[in-house]
């Protein structure tokens, strides 16, 4: 079956068995919550800089360029970690790599809190970025490979929900400590959930798909048996995984052969996720709105809370419908909402409540579609043999673009003002068209059925 270029609702995958009746043991949800702490930590450490920048600037006299560098170094630090973790992924289980990430989260958070100078803080942010890269990449892979088919969208989308909860928590902590100028607490509190994440990953099982890829079928079957509610379901899924592995090529070259089509779709979506503007409001809301005179001195804080609440609420709304409504529809709704909100911000950058409402609408639109659906889509459309490599490439690309964006945005805002929001709106419109015409629907299909779809072309 070929992918239609005109009808997004018909581009579901053919030839799939019914997964609706499969039982879901409670253990699945517990593991998903524990793995979700990887997202919470990523969100907290990304959002914490928003509240920490004003007191940091006051203490260290940071310029706009230094603000951008301190913010972006978290993302630059993720890049070598993604490369290293990708190379390690064939030898070490997803869970073990996440344990390493948890340890770095603990140490890196404390190093940020005790930074004596801007230079030390830059190094600590870069080091903490190692954990961010590992968490964002392997938290997603781990969740997608453990999740039963009929709730894979919800469980993998939970990762994005925890990211957004982390961002909101960072804003709350930032608000609590900003008046006292205690940026040390804002940046250091992340060590607490990092310890919980570390304990959770020590107790969690290995990925059954990774075990089978390494020829450890009996171990994989035991894990599947505990996560699928019965041996029949576990054996059937194991057989599908084994058959899929026999058909797959492995190695980096496979990305440009068997996986080139999904990689192209993911690369384009990566560009749109970054350059339609979400990091502008996540990282720099207080700076963007510090000159909104009609809202007074609290404009930045109000915008921050609006962003955090919108991300959490929208993603929570998306989770129960992401498997029923489908990936493509949610992405299209998301892009349309972003475009409308950014046009309002371009036309009315200092309109008080209207401006803040536009930020809320924009963030809500992102959180209901492009945020959770993108990171769900990345691991589920890539074949198992190249999943770690492919997710590594896409995550590396995403963090590179994010780092460039984070470093450049303060300067762009300073020079161009509200015109940057018009650029975000136009890119959201282009993304809407691309999603409708080129992105295939994967809802309701197992990972092995999705692989079969790409193979058949």
Contact call for residues 251 and 52 (beta carbons, < 8 A): no
Residue 214 DSSP SS3 = coil
pLDDT at 161 over 50: yes
Distance of CA 154 to the CA centre of its chain: 14
Distance CA(396)–CA(101), nearest Å, equals: 16
Q: How many residues does the chain have?
A: 457
Of the candidates 232, 234, 290, 266, which has an alpha carbon nearest to the alpha carbon of residue 383? 266
Give tens-digit pLDDT for 262-293. 999 999 999 999 999 998 887 777 667 765 55
- pLDDT band (50, 70, 90) for residue 2: very low
Show the tokens assigned to 213.
Answer: 């890829």
pLDDT value at residue 365: 97
How many whole angstroms separate alpha carbon 420 and alpha carbon 422?
A: 5
DSSP E strands in 198-247: the ranges are none
Contact 398, 76 (CB under 8 A): no
Average pLDDT, the chain: 87
From residue 376, alpha-carbon distances to 120, 134, 340 in Å are 35, 16, 25
Task: State mean pLDDT over 95-99.
Answer: 96
Mean predicted confidence (pLDDT) in 49-68: 88
**Tokens 């600037």 appear where?**
57
- Provide the pLDDT for residue 192: 96
What pLDDT does 294 receive?
56
pLDDT one-digit tens code per residue, 371-415: 999 988 998 899 888 888 898 899 889 888 988 898 888 888 888
Tokens of 441: 């629907």
Positions of E strands within 138-296: none
Q: How confident is the model at residue 7 (pLDDT cuts 50, 70, 90)?
A: very low
- Contact between residue 156 and residue 379 where contact means Cβ atoms under 8 Å apart: yes
Residue 6 has pLDDT above 50, yes or no: no
Nearest to 421 by CA among 303, 302, 339: 339
Taking the domains of the chain in order of start, what are their residue ranges?
24-204+248-456
User: What CATH superfamily classification does 24-204+248-456 receive?
Assistant: MFS general substrate transporter like domains (1.20.1250.20)
% of the chain surpassing 90 pLDDT: 50
pLDDT at 9 over 70: no
Provide the pLDDT for residue 8. Answer: 39
Residue 102 to residue 194: CA distance in whole angstroms:
6
Look up residue 433 and give its two tokens: 């068209």
Q: For 318-359, what is each residue's pLDDT tens digit?
A: 998 998 899 999 999 999 999 999 999 999 988 878 888 898
Exposure b/e, 326-358, CB count within 10 A at least 16 = b: bbbbbbbbbbbbbbbbbbbbbeebebeeebbeb
Query: Does position 222 have pLDDT exceeding 70, yes or no?
Result: yes
């Amino acid at each position: 079956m070929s992918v239609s270029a005109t009808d997004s609702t018909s581009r579901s995958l053919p030839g799939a068995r019914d997964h609706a009746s499969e039982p879901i043991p409670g253990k699945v949800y517990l593991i998903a919550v524990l793995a979700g702490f990887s997202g919470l930590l990523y969100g907290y450490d990304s959002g914490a800089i928003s509240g920490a920048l004003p007191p940091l600037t006051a203490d260290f006299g940071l310029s706009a360029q230094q603000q951008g560098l301190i913010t972006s170094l978290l993302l630059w630090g993720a890049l070598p970690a993604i490369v290293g973790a990708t190379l390690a992924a064939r030898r070490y289980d997803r869970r073990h790599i996440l344990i390493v990430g948890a340890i770095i989260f603990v140490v890196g958070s404390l190093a940020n809190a005790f930074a004596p100078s801007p230079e030390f803080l830059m190094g600590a942010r870069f080091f903490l970025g190692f954990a961010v890269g590992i968490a964002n990449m392997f938290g997603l892979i781990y969740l997608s490979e453990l999740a039963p088919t009929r709730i894979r969208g919800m469980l993998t989308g939970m990762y994005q929900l925890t990211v957004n909860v982390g961002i909101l928590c960072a804003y709350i902590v930032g608000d609590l400590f900003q008046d006292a100028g205690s940026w040390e607490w804002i940046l250091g509190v992340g060590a607490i959930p990092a310890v919980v994440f570390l304990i959770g990953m020590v107790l969690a099982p290995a990925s059954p798909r990774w075990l089978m890829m390494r020829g450890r079928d009996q171990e994989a079957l035991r894990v599947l048996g505990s996560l699928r509610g019965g041996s029949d379901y576990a054996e059937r899924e194991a057989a599908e995984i084994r058959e899929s592995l026999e058909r797959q090529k492995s190695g980096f070259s496979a990305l440009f052969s068997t996986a080139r089509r999904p990689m192209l779709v993911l690369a384009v979506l990566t560009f749109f996720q970054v350059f339609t503007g979400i990091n502008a409001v996540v990282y720099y809301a207080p700076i963007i709105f510090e000159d909104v005179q009609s809202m007074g001195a609290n404009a930045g804080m109000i915008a921050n809370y609006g962003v955090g609440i919108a991300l959490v609420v929208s993603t929570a709304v998306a989770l129960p419908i992401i498997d029923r409504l489908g990936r493509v529809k949610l992405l299209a709704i998301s892009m349309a909402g972003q475009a409308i909100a950014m046009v309002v911000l371009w036309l009315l950058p200092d309109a008080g409540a209207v401006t803040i409402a536009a930020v809320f609408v924009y963030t809500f639109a992102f959180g209901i579609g492009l945020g959770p659906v993108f990171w769900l889509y990345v691991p589920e459309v890539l074949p198992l043999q190249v999943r770690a490599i492919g997710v590594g490439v896409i995550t590396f690309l995403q963090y590179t673009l994010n780092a460039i964006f984070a470093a450049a945005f303060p300067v762009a805002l300073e020079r161009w003002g509200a015109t940057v929001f018009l650029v975000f709106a136009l890119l959201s419109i282009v993304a809407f068209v691309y999603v409708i015409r080129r992105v295939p629907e994967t809802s309701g299909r197992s990972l092995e059925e999705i692989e079969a779809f790409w193979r058949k072309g």
